[in-house]
Each structure stands twice: as C-alpha cells, then as structure tokens.
Structure 1
C-alpha cells in the first residue's frame, strides 16, 4: 500500500531504481503519473532539439485514461495507442528488452533456488531487496549495443 510498510522500506533497497507501491501490485493512474514525472519527463528533456517524442502504449486501462494521456501531452509527447494483439510488433521494448531482462532475472532466481537447503516446508521467498538487486543487475547486464540495435531494427 502506498505509504505503508513496503514503501517505508524503500530506503533499504538498492540504488539505481525508482520504487513505487500500489495496493494490488498493478500499474494504475497514480503510479503511471509518477513514472511520467520521474522517468519519462527527464528522459525527454535530454533529447535533441527538433525531436518530436512519441510514446507508444498498449491499451491497458491506465494507459487509456484521459488524465494520463493529457499529462503526457502536456509535456509535449504524442501518445499513440497500440491495438490489442499488436504489442509484439509495435513495442520493441516488450520484445527485445523485456524478454532478455526477464530471462536474466529468472536465471538469478533459479541460481538462488539451487542454493536453498531444499526443505520446501519452511521455504522463505527472497526478500524484496534481493529481488530488486536481481532486476537492477539484470538490467545493467543488457548491453547497450544490443538494446540500440533492437530499437533501430524495430523502428525502421
């Protein structure tokens, strides 16, 4: 819950990421607006002059909200909504970055599982801090050339 026990523990999480909470662990309007402010706006501010930024979003409910679309448009970014079933074709990040990222995180989890004592009756899941470190390390292990190459081939 925002402001609850988990979000109060963010100070102990690894640096290199921005953390947020939502009651049901879903992206919602407030988390989306935070992403816009903390991630999207600073990124767009570094773009070259004359660049017209476009953000392609799937048809997830919070991506379609007028308040979210207007917040994005207010900072000069055009929003294009991708029809259902077209994410793999139109969103290169989902295909070329999220898949290898998830594979790397899964590999870290599998390694961690193999190191456990095998007694599933008293199994303790990895801490949120450890999960966050797996994600950050996995993201950092993606080579920028691979990411750039994939984005260039999908946008051509």
Structure 2
C-alpha cells in the first residue's frame, strides 16, 4: 500500500450563494418566520476538496458558473476555474490533476500514489485515465451508492466544512460589507468573499479529523487490525 501521504481522496460538492440554515431565532410561538437572504438561493458554484491520509489538505478549487474569469484578486489558498454550468467536467479534472494533485507533497516526484474518488463521469474518461497513468497514480473508484460509507470527505469532512461556510455567511449577512442594485436589492457575496469563506472553512478542519476520516472509511488502517475500532466510531468521537 502507498504511504499515507500518497493516499488521497477528492470530491466535488455544490454550494449556494445564499447558505440559509435550517435554524432561526424567533420569539416563542411566532407564527411567521422570516429568513433574510440576498435572493440568490438558486445561484450555485462548486468546490472541489481533496486531502491525503496523513492529514494534509490540498488546495481547494472553486468553479464559478460563468464564461470568463472574474476580475477579482484571487486570494492565496484557492484555485479558481469557470464553467458555463458551474460544475466539474473533464477539463476541470485535468486542471485539478495538473494544479492540485500533481503539486501535493511528493507529486512532482511522481511517486506511486492512490486516489480515491467516486464514479462521476469525468473521473472515468479515457483521457483522465491516461493522465493518471502518466503521473503514476492508481485509482480506487467508489461504487455508486457507497460514497456515504467509504468516502472520507463525504463521511466526515463535507458537513463541518459546509457548516463553517454557513456560519461565515450568517456573519456576513449581519455585518459584512454589501453591494446593492439601483433598485435596492442586495447582491450576493462578492466572489473573493466566497473564496475567503472556502479558505477559512477548509483551514478550520484539523489534521487529526482528516486522518480519522480515512481510518473510519477503512482506507489507511494498519493491517494488524489495531485500528479497526475507527470503523465503528461516531464522527464526533476522538
């Protein structure tokens, strides 16, 4: 088996510009609950997260739904890509392999590695397979319907990541700097603000949580059975 630093997991997760939670604070017995938004609940973008079994978190890619690159100063810590649908495609996978996976620790030396990801179509194309072979990366494809059981990002990491972004969005709604249309309608958060949300949320996930996520999914556990208890631990357990 590859060393833990060469075992990785990647996943694409959709996000909305308005990140409304399912909890509000209102007077007891109130019949009407108003949830304030910017009116962009259906506007979305994609975040591509990846990590390795030794606890390292790789640079996120953010894919915005647009034809041209945004004219913003992109914060250090993310890679920004654009796509007319705001979703990952074969070109996005190529960019991720070249700019994130190949640049992880050991990536430039093309040490033999293992990448765990799901059956998304762009992961399985011939050109993707050729590129993976070229950089000495073996692939473990998670069967359909099992990502919630054996994909580290799905099992342990995506939820706290999204929770942290939602908390930042709530803070921005209360006290952040906003832009308005001439008609007085609030714009969604600026793209650089969203980038910073992603950076902070990803940075806040600890190395220990990442390591535990791989063990909980049975990917990096020791072969002597001494770490099998991780398989049965709840996500909140140490």
State the TM-score, normalizing by the size of structure 1.
0.83
Is 1:130 aligned to 2:190, yes or no? no
Shift of the alpha carbon at 1:125? 0.8
Partner of 1:146: 209
Corresponding residue SS for 2:82: coil
Greater than 3 Å deviation, 4+ residue runs: 46-49
Shift of the alpha carbon at 1:71? 0.7
State the TM-score, normalizing by the size of structure 2.
0.56
Shift of the alpha carbon at 1:43? 1.6
Partner of 1:33: 94
CA contact (8 A) 1:14 1:129 kept: yes
Partner of 1:20: 81
Measured at CA, do residues 141 and 23 of structure 1 come closer, stay the same or move farther in structure 2, by a change above 3 Å?
same
Question: How does 1:1-156 map onto structure 2 within 5 Å?
Answer: 1=66, 4=68, 7-10=69-72, 12-43=73-104, 45=106, 52-115=112-175, 122-154=185-217, 155=219, 156=221
Partner of 2:23: none
Question: Which structure 1 residue ranges, 5 or more long, are not aligned?
Answer: none
Shift of the alpha carbon at 1:42? 1.8
Which protein has the bigger helix share? 1
Question: Which structure 2 residue ranges, 5 or more long, are not aligned?
Answer: 1-65, 222-238
Aligned residues: 149
Structure of larger gyration radius = 2
